[in-house]
Structure 1
């Protein structure tokens, strides 16, 4: 009885397999081949390239968190929000100022055009060389890292922004409020 059950199951499986193979066979040569419809030749139908790096495009998600420096080259805050108008043009960025580790900080709006963006890292003052014979194993001052001065590969966001306002001016500026949030 058990053998009959196995034979019946195997026969059913073979019939289902044969049906599936028959349904996926190639079309006959007399059947017309399906041709894809031609793409419209309008400007709106163009698809942007897959790799946008190095093409002057920035990702808004990467812009959030970028450091902002004042006229004295001291950090005043970082980008917390990017504000667009209805047409998609960036109008403002908000900079988080004050507080400690995000506690007690506030967002201040700055017009996008007032931020000077840079893709190059801020210049860091090199440490003074150690005097000769100071016991340094290298026999000289500290070597600067070549990575710090090497140009970056094209990025999808700037390294930092500079504004003309100081940290004190931003701290005393009114905080941004969002209606309906």
Structure 2
């Protein structure tokens, strides 16, 4: 089974895959091209804005009990005539993106002409959840805004730390079990039952 669409030949002489990312926010979904300047409109008429200033960390799949994290960064030198982008993003806060979907896409291109008139729809190949926003102010000029993200299975490879109580049972499956109120919660015995 291939992740690429039917009719796309990955072994053709002129072929390419464009990396794209969409970020779900409180104001809607924003779409970007990773590491490429320009504007791209896909077959569904969605606009993707690109910049070489947008970079992604290494993307790894969730295998062998790992839940890999990563980040998206925008590194820039601010224009003194424009507003302060760092202050604007800080004002939005981390809740603007925390827990929301960050989706990585591949756009198959069979030729350069398909950049202006795409034939295939973008392929969704990796989904992550937004974490927090970091800011790096290097020197007097360079600024970096970093959005961290984590895999969909973060925390699932650890013990849940639940006891057999009514409240923990309700948290686990969504319905309380009132008979668990009689479950002993410690193993202390005043006198031995046997021996």
Q: What TM-score does the superposition give when structure 2 sets the normalisation length?
A: 0.21
Rg larger in structure: 1
More strand by share: 2
Q: What TM-score does the superposition give when structure 1 sets the normalisation length?
A: 0.22
Using CA pairs below 8 Å that are at least 6 residues apart, which structure has the higher relative contact order? 1
More helix by share: 1
